[in-house]
């Protein structure tokens, strides 16, 4: 009888523990990632869109067109969700998508487009030249805006043309890098001390050069040490200009915050059009950019806008990360990483707590059963 009772208690403990563990694991298991099936690419970054009212109709027409052209059964042709591309400089608009079909005899990948005005259907290679011309027009327009904007970031400059005089935007002012002879000598000495890794570094952006040969081995720890010391030294070259920017803010009664950055320090402040233009005229100002802080909900949009090529909506070609519209790519990454780390830490703590609960519950069941058994005895 005692053996039977002890066996029952053991089974109860194991059931409680493992069923609870399964529940805890289910609670903290990551959600499956979506397929993000939007592979339509024309050399342009995608623009967020509402659902196209003729999506189903155009989808069906595209399938019928492809079935006839390639002598395939419609059910063998697969199309991704379509999207509308507006080529403003060319005066054309298309609904387009990627397609694929495959049988044991033949297979094909490609793109299909429907002109929104004429409703004529084209394959990708038939309209590719139009997209390239649009891209070139956008690039030329952007380069012209760069010349006009000077030290002001192009998108900020574009926004300034439309904003009222009393509106203020959150900006970052980057001070001019002004190293003196003494600082340049210190940097040269550092480069000689770490010659084995210094030659692999893009000194302007404080990162490992992207054009280095991938098969060149280097000491990771020495690279880390070199970059840390290089960045620390170069901060001195910004110091005087940083003080001048701060003084400008104080002289004009502007609230500001000086912040460190991976490549350079910056001064954040809400500025009006006139204040931005006045700052841009100063020798101690290197550039003025929008200050963008991404939220979790904006991450997808940020990824879209950072896609390669040209953003049709904004007209901004792909540019080097060091001059990207975000003030400090490293800083933004750090912010997102910090948030991700915090979330990950919270989840891990929660999972640890949840994982221990089943065993506590099982222990309570076991102790309760033993107490009952002893009392009966």
Question: What residues does each domain of the chain span?
Answer: 2-25+335-376, 44-138, 151-291
* Residue 83, strand partner residues: 96
Q: For the segment 15-58, what is each residue's pLDDT rounded down to a tens digit?
A: 444 444 333 333 333 323 333 333 333 333 444 455 677 889 99
Q: Phi, psi (5° rounding) for residue 103? A: -135, 180
Question: Alpha-carbon distance 207 to 362, whole Å?
Answer: 54
Give me the pLDDT at residue 65, please: 95
Give me the pLDDT at residue 343, please: 43
Task: Tell me what the mean pLDDT of segment 103-118 comes to.
Answer: 90
Q: Given a cut of 50, is residue 293 above it in pLDDT?
A: yes
Give me the pLDDT at residue 28, please: 31
* Residue 107, strand partner residues: 102
What are the Cα distances from residue 157, in Å, to 271, 294, 309? 13, 20, 21
Give me the pLDDT at residue 140, please: 96
Q: Given a cut of 90, is residue 150 above it in pLDDT?
A: yes
When mean pLDDT is compared over 172-186, 199-213, 218-232, the highest value belongs to 172-186
Give me the pLDDT at residue 207, please: 53
* Residue 270, strand partner residues: 170
330-336 long-range contacts (CB < 8 A, ≥24 apart) are 330/261, 330/262, 330/263, 331/259, 331/261, 331/262, 332/292, 332/294, 334/262, 335/293, 335/294, 336/294, 336/299
Question: Which of 64-78, 159-173, 286-300 is least confident?
Answer: 286-300
**Strand 201-202 with 256-259, pairing:** unpaired
Give me the pLDDT at residue 299, please: 41
Give me the pLDDT at residue 368, please: 52
User: What does the DSSP assignment read for 101-133?
Assistant: EE-SS-EEEEEEEEETTT--EEEHHHHHHHHHH
Q: What sign does the dihedral 235-239-245-249 (CA atoms) show?
A: positive
Task: Tell me what the mean pLDDT of segment 62-79 comes to.
Answer: 93
Question: Which of 101-105, 283-287, 364-368 is least confident?
Answer: 364-368
Q: Given a cut of 70, is residue 6 above it in pLDDT?
A: no
Give me the pLDDT at residue 311, please: 35
Can you point out the beta strands (E) in 117-234?
121-123, 168-175, 201-202, 207-208
Question: Which of 78-87, 233-242, 330-339 is least confident?
Answer: 330-339
- Phi/psi-derived region of residue 71, left when phi > 0, alpha when psi is between -120 and 50, beta in every other case: left
Please indicate, yes or no, whether the overall pTM of this predicted structure exceeds 0.75.
no
| pLDDT classification of 265: cutoffs 50, 70, 90 | very high
Cα dihedral: 210, 213, 219, 221 (round 10): 10
Give me the pLDDT at residue 183, please: 95
Q: For the segment 233-264, what is each residue's pLDDT rounded down to a tens digit?
A: 999 999 999 999 999 999 999 999 999 887 88
Contact 274, 165 (CB under 8 A): yes
Question: Alpha-carbon distance 337 to 58, whole Å?
Answer: 41
Give me the pLDDT at residue 274, please: 94
Question: Alpha-carbon distance 59 to 326, whole Å?
Answer: 37
> Residues of the chain with pLDDT > 90: what percent?
49
Cα dihedral: 336, 341, 343, 345 (round 10): -170
| pLDDT classification of 370: cutoffs 50, 70, 90 | very low
Buried b / exposed e over 180-193, threshold 16 CB at 10 Å, is: eeebeebbeebbee
E strand or H helix that includes residue 85:
strand 83-87
Give me the pLDDT at residue 199, please: 83
E strand or H helix that includes residue 189:
helix 181-193
Contact 2, 355 (CB under 8 A): no
């Amino acid at each position: 009888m005692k053996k039977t009772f002890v066996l029952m208690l053991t089974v109860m403990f194991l059931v409680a523990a493992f069923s609870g563990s399964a529940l805890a694991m289910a609670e903290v298991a990551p959600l499956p990632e979506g397929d993000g099936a939007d592979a339509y690419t024309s050399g342009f970054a995608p623009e967020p869109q509402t659902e196209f009212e003729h999506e189903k109709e155009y989808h069906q027409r595209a399938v019928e067109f492809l079935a006839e052209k390639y002598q395939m059964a419609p059910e063998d042709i697969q199309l991704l969700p379509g999207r509308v591309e507006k080529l403003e400089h060319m005066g054309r608009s298309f609904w387009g998508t990627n397609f694929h079909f495959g049988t044991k005899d033949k297979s094909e990948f490609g793109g299909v487009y429907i002109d929104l005005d004429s409703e004529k259907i084209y394959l990708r290679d038939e309209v590719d030249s139009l997209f390239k011309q649009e891209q070139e027009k956008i690039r030329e327009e952007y380069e012209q805006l760069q010349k006009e904007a000077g030290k002001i970031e192009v998108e900020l400059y574009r926004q300034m043309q439309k904003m009222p005089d009393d509106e203020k935007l959150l900006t970052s002012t980057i001070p001019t890098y002004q190293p003196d002879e003494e600082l340049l000598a210190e940097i040269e000495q550092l480069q000689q001390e770490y010659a084995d890794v210094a030659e692999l570094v893009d000194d302007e952006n404080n990162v490992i050069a992207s054009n280095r040969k991938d098969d060149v081995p280097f000491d990771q720890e020495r690279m880390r040490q070199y970059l840390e010391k290089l960045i620390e030294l170069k901060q001195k070259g910004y110091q005087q200009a940083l003080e001048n920017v701060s003084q400008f803010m104080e002289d004009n009664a502007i609230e500001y915050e000086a912040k460190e950055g991976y490549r350079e320090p910056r001064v954040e402040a809400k500025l009006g059009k006139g204040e931005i233009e006045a700052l841009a005229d100063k020798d101690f100002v290197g550039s003025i950019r929008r200050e963008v802080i991404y939220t979790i909900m904006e991450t997808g949009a940020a990824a879209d806008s950072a896609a390669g090529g040209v953003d049709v909506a904004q007209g901004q070609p792909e540019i080097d990360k060091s001059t990207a519209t975000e003030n400090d790519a490293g800083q933004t990454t750090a912010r997102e990483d910090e948030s991700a780390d915090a979330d990950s830490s919270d989840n891990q703590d929660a999972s640890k707590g949840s994982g221990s609960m089943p065993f506590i519950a099982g222990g309570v069941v076991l102790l309760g059963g033993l107490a009952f058994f002893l009392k009966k005895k």
